Each structure stands twice: as C-alpha cells, then as structure tokens.
C-alpha cells in the first residue's frame, strides 16, 4: 500500500507541473484584444475548389489557361500534391483511406492547372478513382460543380431549384442552416444554366468507369421518399425547360434577396467556405461586377480564409475565435491558471459578440428575444447552441459585471427556448427534423438536417445547471431524459460535432453530473465501463473518423484531446482513482511537449459525418489542461474526504 501511495503522490506532483506548463502555454496564446484563435484545418477539397473558382472567374483562352492568380493556383497545386496518398488517392481525414469525391476534385484541379495526364500524380489518382467506382461514385456536389463546365452531364445531376424559396411551410427552414446557405446561392447558379468554358481539349472522360450508371440510385421499394424526390427531380428538369419563366425569375429574386440580407453582419454567407464560394458564383451570374461592393466584399472575405505564409498554403473552412476563446477562458479559469485581467479581457471580447438580431433560428422560435453566440468573428444570423453554452460556461467563471449578468440571463432564456420537442438541443435550429429530406438527391453531404444530439445536449445541460438551473426546471429534466433515452446499448453516446463516441460520452456524462444524476445509476456505470474498455495499450484513447462509417466505435492511435475526453468522462462518472484514469494521466504527462502543449496528427472534430472533418489546433492544449485540472481536483476531494 505504501508503494501505491508513493506512486499516487508522484503522479499528482507530475500532473500539477504539467498543468502549470500547459496553463502558461495556453495563456500565452491569448491575443491582445482578449480572444484566442487557433487554426482550423481540413482536407484538400478546399484547395481543389479554390482552383475551380479561379476557372469560373477567369475563363481560358483557347487551349491555354493562365489566370492572373496563377501564382496562387500553383501554390494550391503543391499543397494538394503534398497530401496525395501512396495509392494515388486523397483522403478526407489524416491517415484515412482515399475518398472518391476528394480524389475526383483533386484530379480535376491538378489536370486543369497543367499537370501532365501521363505523369505519376494524375496516373495514380486516375487509377484510384476508377477502382473506387469512377467519377460516377462521387457525391452530387462534385457532379454539380463539374456540370457547370460541361464536364458531367447536367441531366444526371440533382436539380437545385430556386423555386424552393416559394414553397409553403417555410420549406427552406426545414433544411439545416448550413445546407440552406449552400443550396440557395447554388440554386441561383444552376438556374442560370451556365456552360463555363474549359481549355480546348480538356476532358475528364478518362474518369468515367465503363458500365457504371450515370443515373441516380433508386430505392428498390416503390413508395419511398427517395423515389418520390427522384420523381420530383425529373419534374424540376421539365419545369426548367417548359415552366413559367416569370415564376423562375421571382424565385431567383427571392433567393438573391435572401442571400444579400445574410451577407450583412457576417464574415461571408454563413461565414463558412462552401456558401461563401457559391455566393461569389451567384453574384457573378446575377451580373454583379467585380467592383460592386457586395461582390468585392464576398471575394475579399472568401480570400481571408487563405493561409499563405511562405511555407504553408491552405484554406480554413471558417474561423473559430468565439469557440476557441470560450473553451480557453473556461479551462484556464477551471484550472486556476488564469489571471483575472486575462479573464476580464476575454469576457469583454465575448460580450461584444452577443447576437442581438433575429436570425434564421427565429422562424421556429418567433417570440424569443435574440441572444446567443456564433462560432466565428461575425455571423449574426447564425448563433448556435453549442457556442452559446460554451460561452456561458466561460462567462460564469469570469469577473462579474452588469453587462455579463444581463447577457447571461438573455442567453439562458434563449437556450431554454431553443430546446427541441424531444428534449435535446441541436446546433442552430430547434425541431429541424424532417427526416424525409435526407432522401433528397443533393442530400449526400450527409447533413441535410440539424437534429438534436447528445454532445450538444450534454454541454447545454452543464451550462444551464452551472448558471443556476437544477432538476426542478422542466428543461433540465427533459434534457436528462433525452440523454438517458439516446444512450447506445454499449453505454456510449454518439458525438455529432467531435469524433465521435468518446466526444459524445464525455459531454453527456458532464451534463448528467451537472444536473445531479447519481453516479451509481446503471447508465452512468455502463458509460464508465465502456470508456475503460476501449483504452489503448499506451494508456491513452483514440477514435477514428471511420466510426461514423460503421456506426460503432473504431479505435485509432491515442490522441491528446481524445485521451482528455476519456479522462473527463470517467471523472464525471465518479471514477477518480481507477487504473484507467491514472494510466490516462500518465499518457498525458509522457506525451507533453517542451512548450507545454501536445502534438496531435488525427482529426478529432467533425463537420459533416462521413464527408468532412476538422482539426482544431487548440483542442490538443485546452482539453488535456482541463483533464489534468479535473483530475487534481478529484484527487484533492478524495484526500480531504478520507481525512
């Protein structure tokens, strides 16, 4: 027993020192204005789409294509080629397999930029595409983009009709906010029926797999939503040829006004890459000149996503300062590493970004006072519940002020009002659950809807309860019931916005603990047992993005952020001293870098499951720091209890 105590004391001392170093490192990253902002990185599709946009903006002359942005195109080419896999393909998450859509995009971009068709890069990519089903196997957005240049048959691409703006039942607001922001400008582009030129002789015919169908996949059963929407798609195509052009013009005007309104008070349309790209294309087909203020601003904000520092060239899918700041401020305050002046500046910066205008969310909740926070520097139409909950957690640990108290009261009311009818919380909208829309032909980005999810629900519960609500409040009771109902049979919870079951489970457990759930309840015990059962041999935890493909946990090499999530989940379940917890802490101590942070190659953030993943550069610092702080607090509590 004496040896065990000595080992425990040694671990506690090591954790305290690691916490100090991590806290100093994270504190040093605060900007003078008060915020934190880490890079957010993704895959090669962003650079590939950038090259496509250059072709759109700067058409070729004959056989040559030499846009004025040639230097940037060449840098994008080098960035794409550097990430080509040994098998010739391109993946959508680090160390993942080749993805056919990403590889088709890369092939198009590289060939357009002038790489030789018989060179090693294109030859290997072409072979990989054909082995994955050819260009026919790419997703609908790849096909739509290529069809704009006559490189894929338009009749085999989904129609994205602007007439959806005129449909009853607030139809466009039944789609997720990000889908809405993508398809509305895209509908303007498609309605113009462009056939943009490509260099003479340029083709992608070599990517078409012989014998593979170009058509849409139909459901074997006759009466399914899939087949209904495919029939509607055929109808839209006929309407485009023979329908009343006056109706189409009215629909395009409605789409244009919707888009222009949402370009205001925002760092681009929805402040995320895909809508920002399509907004530029839409403004172009609508006749906005390059020097028109709206178009010039749209292009400037799109290009602001570019990182080009001489060594690296990549686009960020969006910016994450509100998210990064809220997490960093909360973690530093919780760990005892934050200076009050640092927290004061963070709070002032966050308070300056509270939403006070009605956005798309108000369609479902028209009588609710605006509040909440968005993810980026500016995105007034799209505050989200995850950021709002995280900001509330951060503000609850910041120095008090009248402005802070008033904002927190408004945000609490907003969060409670945004609870969905099933008791959970989603990202941007309440009751965004028309499941039939997932069968629309252009829904294969796997994120047509914004349903409630355990990870956000857990974080919202923690925020509500830390800010004064308890189990006596109906919203808290319904949130707890939602989490109990959505637990997986193995004891885990699904994570929509982080990879995956580790993320969902740690947040669900923290929410349940904050809501007063007894740690001896069976569902809490099962969750803890599940976390312990998937620990890696090195003491850490890791989960692959492939878990979304298999709808079950898929192990991966240990990462700092996922190890921290596992430790935080175990601590929230009441397990503060098991061998699993201790080995997890040891893993963090052994892998901490000299600067106080941690290295992490794998993507642990989720954009669209199975389609798009994110690497948050600050996760590898913030969450291990939080785990170490919680571990030390639990150890302190155990020792004081034993005395």
Of residues 630 and 447, which shows the higher confidence score? Answer: 630
pLDDT in tens, 426-473: 999 999 999 989 888 888 877 899 999 999 999 999 999 999 999 999
Record the tokens describing residue 598, joined without a space: 């941690």
Of residues 223 and 70, which shows the higher confidence score? Answer: 70
Residues 6+ apart with CB under 8 A from 449: 175, 176, 432, 433, 434, 435, 437, 438
Break the chain into its structural domains and give their ranges. Answer: 1-30+535-643, 45-208+215-315, 320-432+449-486
HEC string of 494-549 equals CCCCECCHHHHHHHHHHHHHHCCCCCCCHHHHHHHHHHHHCCCCCCCEEECCCHHH
What average pLDDT does range 263-275 have in this prediction?
Answer: 97
pLDDT in tens, 295-309: 999 999 999 999 999
CATH no. for 320-432+449-486: 1.50.10.20
What DSSP assignment string belongs to 152-211? S-GGGS----GGGGG-TTTGGGGS-HHHHHHHHHHHHHHHT-------TT---GGGSPTT
- Domain 45-208+215-315 shares a fold with domain 320-432+449-486: yes
What average pLDDT does range 522-529 have in this prediction?
Answer: 98
Residue 641: per-residue pLDDT: 58
CATH-assigned architecture of domain 45-208+215-315: Alpha/alpha barrel (1.50)
pLDDT in tens, 84-103: 999 999 999 999 999 999 99
pLDDT in tens, 342-353: 999 999 999 999
Residue 640: per-residue pLDDT: 66
pTM of the predicted protein model: 0.96
Percentage of residues in the chain having pLDDT higher than 70: 98
pLDDT in tens, 494-521: 999 999 999 999 999 999 999 999 999 9
Residues identified as active-site: 386
pLDDT in tens, 208-237: 999 999 987 776 676 787 888 888 888 878
pLDDT in tens, 309-330: 989 999 999 999 999 999 999 9
Residue 5: per-residue pLDDT: 33
pLDDT of residue 2 exceeding 50, the answer is: no
Mean pLDDT of the chain: 95
Residue 443: per-residue pLDDT: 82
pLDDT of residue 642 exceeding 70, the answer is: no
CATH no. for 1-30+535-643: 1.50.10.20
């Amino acid at each position: 027993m004496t040896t065990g105590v000595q080992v425990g004391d040694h671990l506690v001392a090591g954790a305290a020192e690691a916490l100090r170093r991590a806290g100093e490192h994270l504190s040093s990253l605060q900007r003078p204005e008060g915020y934190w902002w880490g890079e957010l990185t993704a895959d090669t599709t962003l650079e590939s789409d950038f090259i496509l946009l250059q072709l759109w903006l700067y058409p070729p002359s004959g056989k040559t294509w030499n846009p004025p942005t040639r230097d940037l195109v060449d840098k994008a080419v080098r960035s794409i080629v550097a990430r080509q896999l040994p098998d010739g393909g391109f993946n959508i998450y680090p160390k993942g397999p080749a993805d056919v859509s990403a590889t088709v995009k890369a092939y198009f971009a590289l060939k357009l930029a002038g790489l030789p068709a018989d060179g090693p890069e294109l030859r290997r990519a072409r072979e990989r595409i054909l082995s994955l089903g050819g260009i026919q196997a790419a997703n609908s957005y790849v096909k739509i983009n290529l069809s704009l240049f006559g490189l894929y048959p338009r009749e085999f691409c989904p129609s994205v009709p602007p007439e959806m703006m005129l449909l009853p039942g607030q139809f466009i607001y039944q789609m997720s906010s990000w889908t809405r922001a993508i398809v509305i400008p895209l509908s303007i582009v498609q309605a113009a029926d462009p056939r943009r030129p490509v260099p003479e002789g340029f083709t992608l015919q070599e990517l078409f797999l012989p014998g593979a169908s170009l058509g849409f996949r139909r459901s074997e059963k006759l009466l399914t939503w899939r087949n209904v929407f495919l029939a509607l798609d055929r109808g839209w195509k006929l309407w485009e040829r023979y329908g009343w052009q006056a109706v189409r013009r009215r629909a395009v005007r409605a789409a244009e006004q919707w888009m222009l309104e949402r370009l205001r008070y925002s760092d681009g349309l929805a402040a995320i890459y895909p809508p920002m790209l399509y907004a530029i294309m839409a403004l172009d087909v609508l006749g906005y000149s390059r020097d028109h203020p709206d178009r010039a601003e749209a292009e400037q904000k799109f290009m602001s996503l570019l990182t080009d520092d001489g060594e690296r060239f990549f686009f960020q899918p969006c910016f994450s300062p509100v998210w990064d700041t809220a997490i960093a401020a909360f973690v530093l305050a919780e760990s005892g590493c934050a200076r009050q002046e640092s927290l004061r500046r963070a709070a002032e910066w966050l308070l300056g970004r509270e939403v006070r205008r009605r956005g798309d969310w108000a369609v479902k909740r028209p009588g609710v006072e605006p509040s909440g926070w968005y993810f980026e520097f500016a995105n007034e139409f799209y505050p989200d519940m995850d950021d709002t909950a995280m900001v509330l957690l951060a503000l609850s640990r910041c120095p008090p002020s009248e402005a802070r108290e008033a904002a927190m009261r408004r945000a609490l009311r907003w969060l409670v009002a945004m609870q969905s009818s099933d008791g959970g919380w989603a990202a941007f909208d309440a009751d965004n659950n028309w499941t039939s829309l997932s069968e629309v032909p252009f829904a294969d980005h796997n994120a047509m809807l914004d349903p409630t999810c355990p990870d956000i629900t857990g974080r919202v519960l923690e925020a509500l309860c830390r800010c004064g609500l308890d189990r006596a409040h109906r919203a808290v009771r319904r949130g707890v019931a939602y989490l109990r109902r959505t637990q997986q049979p193995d004891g885990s919870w699904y994570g929509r916005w982080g990879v995956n079951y580790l993320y969902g489970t740690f947040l669900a457990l923290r929410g349940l603990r904050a809501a007063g759930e007894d740690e001896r309840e069976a569902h809490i015990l099962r969750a803890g047992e599940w976390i312990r059962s998937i620990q890696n041999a090195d003491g850490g935890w890791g989960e692959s993005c492939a878990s979304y493909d298999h709808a079950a946990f898929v192990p991966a090499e240990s990462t700092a952020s996922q190890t921290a999530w596992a430790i935080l989940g175990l601590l929230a379940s009441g397990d503060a001293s098991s061998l699993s917890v201790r080995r997890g802490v040891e893993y963090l101590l052994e892998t901490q870098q000299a600067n106080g942070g941690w290295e992490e190659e794998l993507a642990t953030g989720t954009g669209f499951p199975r389609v798009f993943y994110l690497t948050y550069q600050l996760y590898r610092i913030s969450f291990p720091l939080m785990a170490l702080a919680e571990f030390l607090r639990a150890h302190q509590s155990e020792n004081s209890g034993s005395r």
